[in-house]
Amino acid sequence: MIIRFFYSVLLIIIAPVFLFGLFRKKTGKPSVGARWKEHFGFTPPLKTMKSPIWFHAVSVGEMMAVTPLIKRYKQQHPEAAILITTTTPTGAEQAEKLSSIAEHRYMPLDFSFAINQFIQTIHPSQLLIMETELWPNTLHTLAKHHIPVSIINARLSNRACQRYKKILPLFRVIEPCLTRVLCQTQQDEDNFAQLGVSKAKLKVTGSIKFDLQISNDILTKGTDLRQQLGNGRQVWIAASTHQGEDEKILKAHQTIIKQIPDALLILVPRHPERFDDVYKLCCQSFLTKRRSLASSGKLSRETQVYLGDSMGELLILIQASDLCLMGGSFLGNKVGGHNVLEPATLNVPILIGPSYFNFKDIVDNLVQRTAINIVKNEQDIASSVIHLMTSKNLQHTMSKNARQFIAENTGAIDRTLQNINEKSENVNEETGCRS
């Protein structure tokens, strides 16, 4: 009780800063708007009277990853009510694509009053949290209401494990409130065990990101876009870049076009509020076209940078490329990389920076199989891109090896659903969630 009290006091102090960033209107980014009350637990009732199964995915990345699992669950349980919560409006925008099978609400802040209000309105049957969103008051309140909580696709890097060890008393409050933790890898399971999670609750089910299914619509749109960009050109994409990475990538592109003059860079910033700034940066050195303003006709051969300033089209842009550099991997310990399995599934060779701790096990395995290249700086980026662009055999080898690795690791969705469908033991009666 004392630990959660001090945690709640700290949350009250930092909540205004968090809410300011969440509610502030940003160019090119969807807004929470009039739905801000949902973050305080004042959520509209669902259209159905059934108790829904509740999936939580904090933002757009987690939402895209969990989408195939939600679709599969609905196929198995066509009569089930499904609720999806996200924290961010970009995640909400992605969740709305499943509006035919699920309803969306914003996740309440981690205050007991907000969670209580939400539960009394929604009456969920169980909560499935994507990856590792562990909120003490939320978990405690759900346990009081006898609502099972599972972490699915759970990951806990060595770095994150060490951080949690510094607040171990708080984690010990959280642990009894968890019903099960379905981990991506054995290393993740070992790290959760180090923090005191009962081995009876732990199971390795694999990463559901391996089960990514690319729709024919995406493939067709990607092929059509490639024709617009120019089938005879060499096209590379820098995907999901963060502030501080774009300059490195553009410097590398300057080197690349000296050797391959008609090479085209597709640059896709991770956050939509950065679109305008990145466009101005590109225009300082290159003839740049924005996807949001480009016509459907063929792109001019003089265009050197194509800015992907649209939401939800990353897979289409990757499909239109010859090779992919994954962003979020050149900023030290700040981000830790993004999902390299998306380009791998699309048969696109991959480059990544030296900081990829969010996908360490996956990247290390791909490195061993000659299915990905790690590049340290703009010089490395340029030389690797040029080497790949001039070696179709290497491109084929890398993409083939990556596909084989994915094929060997599929099935996580089925294993996860098998565990979800098992009758959940009541966490409060089994372990007694601490107050």
- List the catalytic residues: 62
CA distance 269 to 243: 8
Question: To 10 degrees, the CA torsion angle through 6, 7, 9, 12?
Answer: 180
Contacts of 253 (CB under 8 A, 6+ apart): 263, 265, 286, 304, 305, 382
CA distance 149 to 182: 11
10-47 burial: b if 16+ Cβ within 10 Å, else e: ebeeeeeeeeeebeeeeeebbebeebeebbbbebeebe
CA distance 296 to 304: 17
Give the strands of the sheet with 288-290, arranged side by side: 288-290, 305-307, 264-269, 235-241, 323-326, 350-352, 372-374
238: β partners: 267, 325
Task: Give the helix, strand, coil percentages of the chain, each rounded to 5.
Answer: 50, 15, 35
CA distance 220 to 224: 6
Whether residue 393 contacts residue 399, with contact meaning beta carbons closer than 8 Å, is answered with: no
Comparing CA positions, the residue from 337, 339, 382 lying closest to residue 356 is 337
